[in-house]
Amino acid sequence: MTIKLPETLRPYAAKRWLWAYGTLAAIVLLLAVAWNVEFERAMPRQKLPAAAQEFLSTHYPQEKVALVRWEYEEFGITYQVVFSNGTKVEFLRNGEMKKVKSRLHPVPEAVVPEAICSYVAETFPGTFITEIEHKRHEWKVELNNMVELSFDDRGFYLTDYDD
């Protein structure tokens, strides 16, 4: 058994569907905008997580910090430290090193896993690492001759080579 709407209510039924689709479209648009929201602000070095402060004092004790920045992007918090010589170090929320990037200076060998250091020294003599990034199950390395290497996190074997 179907119920028929009276002729006087039919225009309002169409408006109800229009209102429902309009509301759904507005919600989808707001979620899309919220997904791409990024916040960043400067902060003092003392407010970095303890692990990040220890990393900086161990590997960059003499470098002068130019900027410390707190960033919220892709639903995660990261910290970025920029030194006066142009070197940038990024940390995860817990203070774990995410990325070290330097244009002219080598990345400290203590930051790079030993297997990657030995592979670069044997395969590319006379070069040094200018950038290293640790992602989930992968290490990405860039050398001063613009060669990019990717290593597996578990066995430290080469997974990608880009020159």
With residues binned 3-state (H G I as helix, E B as strand, rest as coil), the percentages for the chain, rounded to 5, are 30, 35, 35
Going residue by residue through the chain (163 aa), what tens digit of pLDDT does each one get? 566 656 665 665 556 667 778 888 888 887 776 666 667 888 998 999 999 999 999 999 999 999 999 988 777 889 999 999 999 999 999 999 999 999 888 999 999 999 999 999 999 999 999 999 998 889 999 999 889 999 988 878 788 777 6
Using alpha carbons, select from 113, 121, 124 the residue that is nearest to residue 151: 113
Check residue 38 and give its pLDDT.
Answer: 66
Check residue 47 and give its pLDDT.
Answer: 92
Going from the C-alpha of 57 to that of each of 106, 124, 144, the distances in angstroms are 17, 30, 25
Check residue 157 and give its pLDDT.
Answer: 78
CA distance 158 to 123: 12
CA distance 114 to 121: 11
Q: How is residue 103 written in tokens?
A: 């244009």
Check residue 39 and give its pLDDT.
Answer: 77
CA distance 36 to 23: 21
Check residue 69 and give its pLDDT.
Answer: 94
**What is the CATH topology of the domain spanning 106-163?**
Inhibitor of vertebrate lysozyme, Ivy (3.40.1420)
Using alpha carbons, select from 148, 145, 158 the residue that is nearest to residue 115: 158
